[in-house]
Amino acid sequence: MPTLADTYYERAGALLALAREANAPAIARLAPIIGQSIARGGVVHTFGSGHSELISREIIGRAGGLVCVTGIIDPTGGFIENLPGYGERLAARYDRQYQLNAGETVIVISNSGKNASPVDVALYAKGRGLTVAALTCLAMSRVTPSQHPSGKRLFEVADHVLDNGGVPGDAVVEVGDGTSAGPTSTLIGCSVLNWLMLSVVEWLRANGHPLPLLRSQNSPGAIEHNRELGARYRARLSRQLA
């Protein structure tokens, strides 16, 4: 009899394969947009409220990742994400310090897509002329009422939608009494972002642009390399490189 972990491994793996196929067209459309922005000196912004912040941080300051990725960080950890206007104020404050520039891209992550702050950030960024990419669970978001004053959910305001392919409630393993465990949104969400970033790298390479990739600081010469890269973007990155 399979263990709960075995069941999770099988189901999460199947959802991951489906997400790879389902998101390929959106990634193909979005990667050149981000690549062109980076080639012009732009950066990529991310935002995730609550647990989704973990996913938003996946591509910030990572060895093997692009240096020009920065995050809008909620100091409350998402505890007041449905306070009217809070997300807009958060984005405006970030904008004043790090700049949300027209032509750049912001990736907004929310599994449910219903909470106010992610929608606020997306709408603010659109108003500033940025491309908005949503990473969400469409199966959940389509059946969940919005908490935003507009009545819209994240996928309804984004320019491009990436779907983590999860199920309503996120967890995929039934453990009895109608209760489930084993969420997949982080596992698949982080994978989707890495697929997207690699597609951006591929576009930059194919079009003859330098690859501003960070190296593991445990590798020889990596600290100096990373500092040199970071210096080009230092005023734009909310996570400063040492």
Taking a C-beta distance cutoff of 8 angstroms, is the pair 167, 159 a contact?
no
How many CB atoms are located within 10 Å of the residue 96 CB? Answer: 9
Domain boundaries, the chain: 4-236
How many CB atoms are located within 10 Å of the residue 192 CB? Answer: 25
Question: What pLDDT sits at residue 200?
Answer: 98
In CATH, the number for domain 4-236 is 3.40.50.10490
Question: What pLDDT sits at residue 242?
Answer: 32
Rounded Cα distance between 145 and 160, Å, is 20
Q: What is the pTM of this model?
A: 0.96
Question: What pLDDT sits at residue 72?
Answer: 97
Per residue in 75-131, pLDDT (tens digit) is: 999 999 999 999 999 999 999 999 999 999 999 999 999 999 999 999 999 999 999
Question: What pLDDT sits at residue 239?
Answer: 61
Rounded Cα distance between 125 and 145, Å, is 22
Rounded Cα distance between 127 and 122, Å, is 9
Side-chain half-sphere CA neighbours of 103 within 13 A = 8
**Quick one: which of 30, 9, 22 has its CA closest to 137?**
22
Contacts (Cβ under 8 Å, ≥6 apart) of 188: 12, 15, 16, 19, 164, 165, 166
Specify the amino acid at residue 121.
Answer: V
Q: pLDDT in tens for each of the 242 residues of the chain?
A: 899 999 999 999 999 999 999 999 999 999 999 999 999 999 999 999 999 999 999 999 999 999 999 999 999 999 999 999 999 999 999 999 999 999 999 999 999 999 999 999 999 999 999 999 999 999 999 999 999 999 999 999 999 999 999 999 999 999 999 999 999 999 999 999 999 999 999 999 999 999 999 999 999 999 999 999 999 998 999 864 33
To which H or E segment does residue 47 belong?
strand 44-48
User: How would you classify residue 119: left for phi > 0, otherwise alpha for psi between -120 and 50, otherwise beta?
Assistant: alpha
Q: DSSP readout, 160-193?
A: EEEE----TTSEEEEEETTEEEEE-HHHHHHHHH
Question: What pLDDT sits at residue 240?
Answer: 44
Exposure letters 1-22 (e unless 16+ CB within 10 A, then b): eeeeeebbeeebeebbeebeeb
Structure tokens at 67: 């240096």
Radius of gyration of the chain, Cα coordinates, nearest whole angstrom: 18
